[in-house]
Amino acid sequence: MEITNNWILPALILVPFLAGFTCWLVDKFDQHLPRYIALFGMLITLGLTIMLWNQGGFSYELSGKAPTWAAEFNVPWITALGINIHLAVDGLSLLMVGLTALLGVLAVGCSWGEIQKNVGFFHLNLLWSLGGVIGVFLAIDLFLFFFFWEMMLVPIYFLIALWGHKGADGKSRVYAATKFFIYTQVAGLIMLIGILGLVVYGYMITGMVGFDYNYLLAVANTLDAQAPHIAYALMLCMFVGFAVKLPVFPLHGWLPDAHAQAPTAGSVDLAGILIKTAAYGLLRFVIPFFPAASAQFADIAIILGLIGIFYGAWCAFQQTDMKRLLAYTSISHMGFVLLALYAGNILTFQGLMIMMLAHGISSAALFIMCGQVYERLHTRDLRLMGGIRGQFQYLPFFLMFFVSALVGIPGLGNFIGEFLILMGSFGKFPLFTILAAISLVFAGIYGLILIHKALFGTPNEEQKQHYTNPLKDLNVRETVILLICAFALLWLGVYPQTFLDISHSSMEWLAHSSIPVQEVVDAAQHVVSQQNVEIQ
């Protein structure tokens, strides 16, 4: 079936860009107007995602050659180099775009009272970073993918450098922003080497320069079979590019500082969305492109993931800053991503899908609550808190709810994701799976530490003098934001089938393509030979 260009796909990227630019233009007239424009722009983006969901087409027959897209948009761009503006969506990318749009709405909402200077330029950077992330999820021309991958870094740099906080350890927001930018920029260049290596190899065997997903998939599969050492090297280049953003131990150094100094909306962007682009990249490109090399690398990747799980949990124990504690929990949870990816079956991939959605929402909600606590107590230092459970009616409930979600309490989305990953990976990696399951105990411990130090005990007398009396509880805007997150986590935990059905076909194809069997290699060689015939 021929799929015509679907206008919704470019609109998903253009709406945040145009809304952000408009926010910057109107800032000189009214500082409140940019907030409403940004909120309206992200609501439109969320509405377009729902329209795409309703169009359907996410179930298809399994094919070993290439994935089937539910909607596509493809126009020529740089024809001499075979580069197109080629956007496409399947169940995997649709759910990621939906998560981005939802958290974009929440990010605008949570910054409503926090950002008071350069409001228009703030929303320009926030919305452009979100538009870049959506571009990453939709682009299947690898040049276009890399363009969005690098483009989304610049707005986040400005978010941290201009509106960030000074860290408890005295490090400046500019230091944190620069560290983030250098880490991710270097990783992006390493990833570019991997992409260009595939393009060059494709030119050598077909005489054609191209960046299209299906073409490079066929080239990579052929390379994986015929020149495994070169394939392994290119796979490592792409893995490192994504691993820094995930982040994988020991490439995680940028994350705690970036989180601690970022404004609340920046932390929502980083924890809820940005690190999910790395998991998406590994799932979309590295695993299906290099099935044999990935299988060879699996033990190393999972060991790095397990080290990250325990290292992140241990570092979380040591933190006194609420934001840094939550940043290290993200490092710990991302170890499960590597276990799910390299176990390579439909169960772990589906578990990874649910985990990315649930972790994105729960971590975003907790960083929003960090901002709410800081606004009331004027500190994020857990040693200066205590006893706030009796001073608020709603805030303690939500804090305990989202910490429970983060540590994987049954009935909420995180539990479903972790359970599917552990169940799916046990058959292939029993020892690694048992160790990963043990780490869930540590997650419960740092969750209890956070709740105990923040909510229980008695208020710190030195800090208490800075409190307003009485302390303001959550207002309507803040409560609505947290209720949306809570409802989403309950939906994921009680009825995850809604999302599993959407992503099933995509994950089934990815699971099939991750097996380095001869049939896949033969199919890849057939596609490359067809490309060669067309050129001749």
Q: Which domain holds residue 418?
A: 8-535
Query: What CA–CA distances, in Å, run from 151 to 157, 258, 454, 487, 509?
Result: 11, 18, 38, 32, 29
**pLDDT score of 253:** 82
- At residue 465, the pLDDT reads 67
**pLDDT at position 517 over 60:** no
User: What's the predicted TM-score (pTM) here?
Assistant: 0.90
Q: Are 312 and 305 in contact (CB under 8 A)?
A: no
Joined tokens for residue 203:
């030119």
444-462 burial, b for 16+ CB within 10 Å, e for fewer?
eebbebbbebbbeeebbee
Whole-angstrom distance, CA of residue 344 vs CA of residue 299: 12
Q: Assess if residue 382 is contained within a domain.
A: yes
pLDDT exceeds 80 at position 526: no
* Cα–Cα distance for residue pair 160/149, rounded to 1 Å: 18
Give the contacts of 132 (CB within 8 A, at least 6 positions apart).
148, 149, 151, 152, 155
Angle of the 153-163 helix axis to the 119-138 helix axis, nearest 10: 150
In a domain, 470, yes or no: yes
Classify residue 249: in a domain, yes or no.
yes
Confidence of residue 1 (pLDDT cuts 50, 70, 90): very low
Residues 6+ away with beta carbon under 8 Å from 532? 205, 206, 207, 208
* Amino acid at the residue 261: Q
Higher pLDDT, 189 or 67: 189
State how far the alpha carbon of 352 is from the alpha carbons of 177, 257, 485, in Å.
29, 26, 19
In angstroms, the CA 46 to CA 39 distance is: 11
82, part of any domain: yes
Residue 371 burial (10 A CB sphere; 0-12, 13-18, 19+): buried
State the total domains in the chain.
1
pLDDT band at 3 (very low <50, low <70, confident <90, very high): very low
3-state SS assignment for residue 160 = helix
pLDDT at 523 over 70: no
CA separation for the pair 333, 367 (Å, rounded): 16
Tell the burial category of 477 from Cβ atoms under 10 Å away from its Cβ (0-12, 13-18, 19+): exposed
Helix axes 213-226, 173-206, angle to 10 degrees: 70
Cα distance between residue 53 and residue 48, in whole Å: 9
**Mean of the per-residue pLDDT values for the chain?**
85
Residue range 7-43, pLDDT digits in tens: 899 999 999 999 999 999 988 887 789 899 999 999 9
How deeply is 156 buried, as exposed, middle or buried, from its count of CB atoms within 10 A (0-12, 13-18, 19+)?
buried
Q: Please give the structure tokens belonging to residue 449.
A: 């530490």
Give the separation between CA 302 and CA 346, rounded to whole angstroms: 18
Query: Within a domain: residue 222?
Result: yes
Examine residue 175 and state whether it is found in any structural domain, yes or no.
yes
In a domain, 2, yes or no: no
102 in any annotated domain: yes
Q: What is the pLDDT of residue 44?
A: 94
Per-residue pLDDT tens over the stretch 75-88 = 998 888 889 999 99
Among 393-397, 452-456, 477-481, the range of highest mean pLDDT? 477-481
